[in-house]
Amino acid sequence: MIRDRGNADNLERAYRGSLLVALIVAGILAPRCAKHTTGPHQPAKLPAMSLWENPIADSSPVYLSPVAYGSPQYEFSITFPESAFTHLGRVDDIWLRYQVDYCSPVNVSAYSACESAWHPIEAWPGSFDCPEFAVPAWSRWLLSCSASDPARCFLNTAKTLKVRGDLWAPQARLLRYQEDYASVVVSLNRHRGYRALGSDGRSVWTTLSAPYGDSLFVFDPSGLCQRTTWLSGVVLAGMAWSGTEFWVVEITNPPRISLLSGDGTLTHGFTVPVGYWDLVRGGIAWVDSLLWLPRCDRYWPLPVIMKMIAIDPVASLESGEAVIVREVPAPAAFRDMVGLTSVNGELIVITGGTLYQMQLNGSVDEGRSLKLAGGPIAWDGESIWMLHSGPVGTSTGGTLLSRFSL
C-alpha cells in the first residue's frame, strides 16, 4: 500500500512537472501582436496599389563596404552619401546583399539605431552534405522583411548601415516605394513559413508554422494586429471563407479539412483520402458552396498539380470522409502552386511567379507576371491580400503582408 502510494505520489509529481513544462512552453511559444505591427507603409492607404505594378518607384546606386572580408562576426559599415537621400526624397526600405557559406553556421545581424541593439537578420545552422569545395552564395534581404521597425531605423545619424556576422562583401541600396504600396511585417525569421491566409471581409487571418503548432494572427484592414492564438499541435496549409465560417486544411496523414471557429478552435471536420503532399501546396478556395483544392498526381522529380478537385463539405461532414463531386484537369503551368483563392466565382492561382484566372470548367487565361515574390493569397471582397517577400529579385527571406487591387 505504501509503495503504491509512493508510486502515485511520483506519478502526480511527474504529471505536475510535465504540466508546468507545458505551460512554460505554451507561454514562450504563444504568439503575441508585435510592439510595432506595421512598417513604414500602412495598408490603410486607399486605393491599394495594383497587383501588376512594380512597387519600387526609385532606388539609389549600390554602395559597398570599404572592407569586404573580416574575421567571424566582423562588423561592416556601409555609408550612404547625402546625394542618395536628396535624389530619392524619401527612404522606405534598404536592400542588403552579402555572401555567405551555407555549409557553415550563418548568423547575421544589423544594428537598429531605434532600438540601440543588434537585430537578427539571418540564422542558419549549416549543412552536413556539402561538397569539399563549397561555392559561396549570395543572400539578399529587404530590411523591412526582417524587422517590425521601419527599415530606416537601421541608418544611424551618419547615414551608415552596420551589419556583422558570418558574411563578407556586403552591399546595399536605398529604395523608395510607390505611394500606395503598403506592407506589414508578419515574419521575422525566414525559416518559419506562412502557409494559410484567409479573409472574412472584416479582418485577415494568417498562420505561422512552428514546431509545436501554428500561431494564428488576425489583422484588421489597416494592417494592425488585433489578436493571436496558438493552435497547439495543429499545422494548417490553407484557409477559405465560406461566408459564415473558415474552412482550413490540416497537415496530417491523411490530410483533414476542418471548420475553424472565431476563437481559433478547430471543430467539425473530415479526412481527405489522398497523400500528405497532395493538399499542402497552394491552399483552398470556396466557390458555389464547394471547396476547391489542388491535387498532386506525380511527386518525382517535382510535384505536379494534375487536377483541381471540388468537395461537397456538407456531405463530407456527414460521412466523415471527403465527398469529391468534381475533378477538373489543371494546366502544366500549375507545377508549383503557392496561392489559391476565389474571386467572383473564379479560381485565382499563383504559380511560378504568375497569376492565373481559372474558370470552373477548366479554362485558364494566359496569366500575368507578378512584380512581387508572391505566396498565399486571399480575397476580402474588394482587394487581394498576399503574403510575399518583397519585389522580385530583392529578397529571399522574411514575409510581408500587403493589400492590392486586382
Q: What is the pLDDT averaged over residues 235-252?
A: 89
Of 135-139, 162-166, 225-229, the range with the highest mean pLDDT is: 162-166
164-204 pLDDT tens trace: 999 999 999 999 999 888 777 776 444 446 678 999 999 99
**What average pLDDT does the chain have?**
80
Q: Rounded distance, CA 213 to CA 208, Å?
A: 9
Least confident residue range of 27-41, 174-188, 194-208, 374-388: 27-41
Query: Where are the chain's structural domains?
Result: 56-177, 183-404
Asked if the model's pLDDT at residue 208 lies above 50, the reply is yes
pLDDT reported for residue 195: 73
pLDDT reported for residue 6: 45
pLDDT reported for residue 314: 96
CB-based contacts of 17, cutoff 8 Å, min separation 6: none
Asked if the model's pLDDT at residue 35 lies above 50, the reply is no
For the sheet with 160-165, list strands across it.
Answer: 74-79, 160-165, 106-112, 117-124
> Angle at Cα 277 formed by Cα 275 and Cα 278, nearest 5°?
65
Which of the pair, 321 or 216, is modelled with greater confidence?
A: 321
Q: Rounded distance, CA 365 to CA 128, Å?
A: 44
Which of the pair, 274 or 71, is modelled with greater confidence?
A: 71
Q: Are 371 and 55 in contact (CB under 8 A)?
A: yes
pLDDT reported for residue 154: 93
Answer CATH for 56-177 from 1.10.3470, 1.25.40, 2.60.120, 3.90.320: 2.60.120
CA dihedral 315, 343, 226, 33 (to 10 degrees): 100
Q: Are 194 and 405 in contact (CB under 8 A)?
A: no
Task: For domain 183-404, give the fold.
Answer: Neuraminidase (2.120.10)
Structure confidence at residue 291 as a pLDDT band (50, 70, 90) = very high
pTM equals 0.82
| Percent of residues, the chain, with pLDDT higher than 90 | 36
Q: Rounded distance, CA 343 to CA 331, Å?
A: 19
Which residue is associated with the grid cell 472584416?
202
In terms of residues, how long is the chain?
406
Q: Rounded distance, CA 29 to CA 25, Å?
A: 6
Neighbours of 240 (CB within 10 A): 29
Asked if the model's pLDDT at residue 29 lies above 60, the reply is no
pLDDT reported for residue 32: 55
